[in-house]
């Protein structure tokens, strides 16, 4: 990435996705695959930092990751500290094998808040990228927990092709009961366009444009949505003025709390 000029073009994070671990050690901490990473994750992190870039890792808010490796559900505190000790700057936190802790915004909020609190408790600034696929209306609450959050199902390498695995056409906007996967770029953009700019005031909506420029695409959505080629019948999002901190927002309370009388 450095040699081809991507770092100087603004790409900052190198994120190690799924399949990196080999379970947990005797103390309960995640252990990296010693064949793939014989010098350990900290060595990888240090080398990336030496290049002037940030290092990201992956886990899931479930008992297993999407590739069926050890997840972080129930082990948020120990895993967050492990990531901090390894020098992690960015955490992509997925939604697989969530043990049924979804279906209402409160269930998803509570599950993702546990890792948000655990990351803050480490004292290390770690950008928290919440990848819950747009389930349970994260645009209503994720900005209180995370720096970036998914608002749709997985993208595929198509600009506007219809795919039955992504059942919503995009014309419904964000009101899609089943996010699906293999969604086209325009399908996702048409879903994100109706979202009000105030929902992005403290974070970034992640439109999942691709694994290569995931974070850059989220920044583009945040800063330049008004110029995107969205369906002309859908309102555009005014670009917020604030920038996103490289740390988890400190929650001031649940957005579902009952007001005092």
- Per-residue exposure over 114-145, b if at least 16 CB sit within 10 Å of its own CB, e if not: bbbbbbbebebbbbbbbbbbbbbebbebbbbb
Pairing of the two strands 13-15 and 21-24? unpaired
Q: How far apart are CA 234 and CA 207, in angstroms?
A: 17
Confidence (pLDDT) at 235? 30
Question: With contact defined as beta carbons under 8 Å apart, do 251 and 145 qualify?
Answer: yes
DSSP 3-state of 245: coil
The angle formed by the CA atoms of residues 141, 143 and 144, to the nearest 5 degrees, is 75
Return the pLDDT at 136: 92
pLDDT of amino acid 175: 73
Query: Could you read off the pLDDT of 198-222 as tens digits, one per residue?
Result: 455 555 556 653 333 333 343 333 3
Over residues 238-245, mean pLDDT = 34
95-143 residue pLDDT tens: 999 999 999 999 999 999 999 999 999 999 999 999 999 899 898 899 9
Q: How far is CA 212 from CA 75, 133, 227, in A?
A: 29, 18, 22
Active site residues: 94, 154
State pLDDT tens for residues 75-103: 999 999 999 999 999 999 999 999 999 99
Instruction: Express each pLDDT in 46-63 by its tens digit.
Output: 999 999 999 999 999 999
* DSSP one-letter string for 58-84: EEESSSB-TTSSB--TT-HHHHHHHHH
Task: Report how far residue 35's alpha carbon sits from residue 16's, in angstroms, rounded to the nearest whole number.
Answer: 15
The domains located in the chain, with CATH, are 13-151+198-227 (3.20.20.70), 158-194 (no CATH)
Spatial CA neighbour of 190 closest among 203, 177, 173: 173
- 258 has pLDDT over 70: no
Beta strands per DSSP E along the chain: 13-15, 21-24, 30-32, 54-60, 90-94, 127-130, 148-150, 204-206
Question: What is the model's pLDDT at position 181?
Answer: 87
In this predicted structure, what is the pLDDT of residue 197? 55
Show the beta-strand stretches assigned E in 44-184.
54-60, 90-94, 127-130, 148-150
The per-residue pLDDT for 173 is 66
Distance CA 165, CA 177 (A): 13
Check residue 176 and give its pLDDT: 77
Predicted TM-score (pTM) of the model is: 0.79
Averaged over 223-239, what is the pLDDT? 32
Phi, psi of 23 (to 5 degrees): 105, -150
**Per-residue pLDDT tens for 149-178?**
988 888 888 898 888 898 887 677 667 777
**What's residue 78's pLDDT?**
98
Between 69 and 221, the more confident residue is 69
pLDDT > 70: percent of the chain:
74
- Which residue shows structure tokens 């808040």? 113
């Amino acid at each position: 990435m450095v040699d081809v000029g991507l770092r100087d073009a603004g790409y900052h994070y190198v994120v190690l996705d799924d399949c990196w671990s080999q379970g947990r050690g005797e103390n309960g901490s995640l252990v990296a695959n010693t064949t793939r990473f014989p010098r350990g994750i900290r060595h990888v992190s240090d080398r990336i930092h030496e290049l002037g870039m940030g290092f990201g890792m992956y886990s899931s808010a479930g008992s297993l990751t999407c590739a069926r490796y050890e997840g972080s559900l129930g082990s948020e505190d120990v895993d967050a500290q492990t990531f901090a000790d390894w020098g992690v700057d960015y955490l992509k936190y997925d939604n697989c094998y969530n043990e049924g802790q979804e279906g209402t915004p409160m269930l998803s909020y509570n599950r993702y808040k546990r890792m948000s609190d655990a990351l803050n408790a480490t004292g290390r600034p770690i950008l928290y990228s919440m990848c819950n696929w747009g389930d349970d209306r994260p645009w209503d609450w994720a900005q209180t927990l995370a720096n970036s959050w998914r608002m749709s199902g997985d993208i595929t390498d198509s600009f506007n092709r219809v795919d039955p695995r992504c059942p919503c056409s995009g014309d419904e906007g964000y009101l899609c009961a089943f996010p699906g996967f293999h969604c086209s770029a325009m399908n996702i953009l048409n879903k994100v366009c109706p979202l009000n700019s105030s929902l992005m005031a403290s974070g970034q909506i992640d439109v999942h444009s691709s694994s290569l420029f995931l974070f850059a695409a989220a920044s583009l959505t945040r800063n330049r949505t008004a110029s995107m080629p969205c369906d002309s019948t859908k309102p555009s999002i005014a670009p917020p003025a604030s920038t996103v901190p490289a740390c988890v927002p400190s929650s001031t309370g649940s957005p579902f709390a009952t007001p005092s009388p």
